[in-house]
Amino acid sequence: MKVEEICCYLPYKITAEVEGTGEMYPITCVTSGGYVEYYAGNNGREMATLSEIKLVLKHLSQIDKHILMRFNFVRRPTKDDDFGLFSWEFIQYCFENHFDVFGLIEKGEAVDVNSL
């Protein structure tokens, strides 16, 4: 996973599964050095490397038809689509609602929210 892939979700209170803890925590920031800060409840803030976390995301296939109509889509976008061709409002909607824009679930770098 890349720093820029996580940063897109940060304004929208993204959570991540942290390796070795069996728990999910909210991500608070990402450093340019590839460390992720997360809030671990009573333990306060903790740090992990990018390889030690998996974002909790939804598949793009879960975007319902009402949302597609709102953004004037005739079909659901897939991870193979060029997201540069979509409106910023739609891309922002995807990040805000934790949809997997980068195909991280397939790569094993994120967890499908429905599998939890």
pTM: 0.89
Which two tokens mark 108? 């094993």
Percent of the chain with pLDDT over 90: 60
Confidence of residue 98 (pLDDT cuts 50, 70, 90): very high
Mean pLDDT over the full length of the chain: 90
Read off the pLDDT of residues 8-57 as tens digits, 9 standing for 90 and up.
Answer: 999 999 999 999 888 899 999 998 888 999 998 888 889 999 999 999 99
**How far does Cα 105 stand from its chain's mean position?**
9
Statement: residue 84 has pLDDT above 90: no
Q: What is the DSSP string of the chain?
A: --HHHHHTTGGG--EEEETTTTEEEEEEEE-TTSEEEEE-GGG-EEEEEGGGEEEEEB-GGG--HHHHHHTT-SS---TTS-GGGS-HHHHHHHHHTTB-TT-HHHHTSEEEGGG-
Determine the pLDDT at residue 8. 93
